[in-house]
Amino acid sequence: MHLNRERYCNNVHPSSDQYQHMSDQDLLQRYKADGNTEWIGVLFDRYAILLLGLCMKYLKNEEDARDSVQQIFLKVLSEIHKHDVIYFKAWIYQVAKNHCLMQLRHKKDLELKEDLVPGVAEQEDVRHVAHVQKDMMLENMERALGELNKDQAVTVRLFYLEKKSYQEISDITGFNAGQVKSYIQNGKRNLKILLEKYSKNMR
């Protein structure tokens, strides 16, 4: 499928209008059924502007962001058949983030080769990547907490994020000590499963 840069970078959405009534899942099923990449093109159209904004946020340069959207589309076309994508928007968002991180690392490598002060650019790169990775982890954590049942989500949030003791959680929620312990243990296990699933879908 030929990619026209103008299609994805100038707020123009061509022939995909006729498919607007179809859900992401429907389009993914069509692609899985016949392997026609046009369905992926329609999906990409829906989120191209969102991805352009994301690339602008990380790369701080409009031309680089536009080029990245094009590269992300090509990567999606070549990679999506290797993954069991369930939530296309979440998956492509993570693909775009990973692409931006790689671009930033590459840029820093080039700067180092241009004889900048030894160690300074590398330290800045490490700090920036660590900050972005922390943001990604927190986003995934919030998303996973939203999928836990209410009791597990409340106790896990209080225990791990707000550093409350079992007794404090019991006082806040009204659960007895046994319930608090059970909700935290089960919630932690389910949270780990969800985070591993998100991580797998990002690759």
pLDDT of residue 144: 75
Q: Per-residue DSSP letters for 81-140?
A: GGS--S-HHHHHHHHHHHHHHHHHHHHHHHHHHTTPSTTHHHHHHHHHHHHHHHHHHHHH
State how far Cα 103 lies from the chain centre: 16
pLDDT of residue 11: 40
**189 within domain boundaries:** yes
- Residue 170, pLDDT > 60, answer yes
**193 within domain boundaries:** yes
Mean of per-residue pLDDT scores for the chain: 78
**163 within domain boundaries:** yes
**128 within domain boundaries:** no
Q: Kindly state whether residues 152 and 58 are assigned to the same domain.
A: no
pLDDT of residue 110: 66
Query: Which has the closest alpha carbon to 85: 190, 196, 200?
Result: 200
Place of tokens 């929620």: 173
Q: What is the pLDDT of residues 25-71, one digit of tens each?
A: 899 888 888 888 888 888 888 889 999 999 999 998 899 999 999 99
Query: Which has the closest alpha carbon to 38: 7, 68, 71, 10?
Result: 7
Q: Kindly state whether residues 104 and 146 are assigned to the same domain.
A: no
Phi and psi angles of residue 165, each rounded to the nearest 5 degrees, phi first: -80, 165
Q: Kindly state whether residues 80 and 12 are assigned to the same domain.
A: yes
Q: For position 163, which CATH number holds?
A: 1.10.10.10
Exposure string of 100-121, with b = 16+ CB inside 10 Å and e = fewer, is bbebbeeebeeebeeeeeeeeb
Q: What is the pLDDT of residues 133-147, one digit of tens each?
A: 555 666 767 777 788
Of 120 and 70, which is predicted with more confidence? 70
Q: For position 91, which CATH number holds?
A: 1.10.1740.10
**159 within domain boundaries:** yes
Q: Kindly state whether residues 155 and 96 are assigned to the same domain.
A: no
pLDDT of residue 10: 43
Range of the domain at 161: 137-203
**61 within domain boundaries:** yes
